[in-house]
Amino acid sequence: MTGILENIYKEQAGLLTARQLTGAGTIAWECPSNIALIKYWGKKSGQLPINPSLSFTLSHATTRLSLEYEVIREGRQPEVTYFFEGKPQKPFGDKFRKYLLQVTPFLPFLKSMKLTINTGNSFPHSAGIASSASSFGAMALALCSLEQEICGTLQDSDDFFRKASFLARIGSGSASRSVRGGAQLWGYTPSFPGSSDEAAVEITREIHPVFRDYRDSILVVNSGAKSVSSSAGHRLMEDHGFSRPRVEQARNHLVRLLSVLRAGDQEEFTAIAEQEALTLHALMLSSNPGLILLKPETLRILELIRQFRGETGIMACFTLDAGPNVHVLYPSACQDRMRGFITGQLARYCEHGLMLHDQVGKGPVKIP
Ligand code: PMV
């Protein structure tokens, strides 16, 4: 089944090709990563999610991407050169090349382009912090700026960011939630008008001020590359016995989280965030083959966070990605107490004490 946005963008693509193409230039964006509270785990064909997800966009964990372009010929596909922090890097270069072919039906002018892509991350390359959301977010934003420059389209900012989210999703599902700041909802839910499986919608205005600058300290327990790609993980949900109840649970969590975010209810927020994180790993542990991505240090940190919350009443909670690193979420008003706790009791479980103190951010920035 093709989606509504997909049809619109394919139709518009016919008009984009009809325009005169000239010129060369450089476009650059800095795009943050995001942390999911309701997890996207499992997809349908066309990189569409089996359940809606909701995330906070981060501030400091970012990817900077520059896109040099030159119109060279009437071609069949773009000519792409890729550098990571100034050096060629084949695996990611190949991913971008494949991605650009996938999005060419929506941006047909790419066929006649020579593109040089340079990316770099604000966090250490080997920190085990997911960069696909920030990388594909930055790439999609640069492509929308390119369309704007050479075709004169996407002048309205809602149109611009909707298409950026749609294009980012094709590279990495979670990237659809990185092209704007604050809180983002991706996936259709009857409880939020305008929500869609094809692109994320911003819900920041809906959320209570306490959550708008929530803190996220990322504790790096293991910086190694993931032993299983997220694509392989998503695939394991296809014939997972718990897939149906999981979709049901995620839908219910989403409805509850929306009202919790509006009300500023940190206690319920904590309960939902932790249950989502533990469910994600429970699904991985119970898939076939079962994936064990948690480390002993991860579990120790989770226990200590719960203990600290019980003792102090501070509403700190944890969430996890598909890996062993822990995101500690807490209100900005408790930052000093939390930093003391993290340094004093949790840092010893991090690899070389590595951590990144981040927070909910305002979203990507175009670099002049
Ligand atoms: O976007 P992907 O394919 O890398 O999947 C991301 C999956 C999780 O990070 C585990 C959850 C999420 O919603 O971000």
CA of 72 to the centre of ligand 1 (A): 36
Mean pLDDT of the chain: 94
Could you tell me if 204 and 55 are in contact, meaning their C-beta atoms sit under 8 angstroms apart?
no
CA of 41 to the centre of ligand 1 (A): 7
Q: For strand 79-84 and strand 113-121, is the pairing parallel, antiparallel, or unpaired?
A: parallel
Nearest atom (ligand 1) to Cα of 40: 13
> Across the strands, what pairs with 68?
26, 116
CA of 56 to the centre of ligand 1 (A): 13
Helices (DSSP H) in the chain: which residue ranges?
4-17, 90-103, 132-151, 157-171, 209-212, 230-235, 243-263, 266-285, 296-312, 335-341
Nearest atom (ligand 1) to Cα of 173: 1
- Specify the pLDDT at position 1: 56
Nearest atom (ligand 1) to Cα of 174: 1
CA distance 133 to 118: 16
Tell me the C-alpha to C-alpha distance, in Å, between residue 352 and each of 219, 307, 348. Answer: 11, 24, 8
10-residue averages of pLDDT along the chain (368 residues): 89 74 88 98 96 98 97 84 94 95 96 95 73 96 95 95 98 98 98 97 97 97 82 94 98 98 98 98 96 96 98 98 96 98 98 96 98
pLDDT in tens, 300-321: 999 999 999 999 999 999 999 9
CA distance 17 to 202: 30
- Specify the pLDDT at position 18: 47
| Nearest protein CA to atom 9 of ligand 1, as residue | 321
Binding-site residues, ligand 1, Cβ < 6 A: 36, 39-41, 53, 132, 172-174, 230, 280, 321-322
CA of 137 to the centre of ligand 1 (A): 13
- Specify the pLDDT at position 34: 97
Tell me the C-alpha to C-alpha distance, in Å, between residue 82 and each of 22, 101, 209, 242. Answer: 22, 15, 40, 40
- Specify the pLDDT at position 225: 73
CA distance 33 to 61: 6
- Specify the pLDDT at position 126: 61
Angle, nearest 10°, between helix axes 132-151 and 90-103? 50
CA of 39 to the centre of ligand 1 (A): 7
| Nearest protein CA to atom 4 of ligand 1, as residue | 230
Chain centroid, CA 200 distance in Å: 10
- Specify the pLDDT at position 128: 63
Mutating to test ligand 1, I would choose from 31, 35, 39, 287 the residue with most ligand atoms within 8 A of its C-beta, which is 39
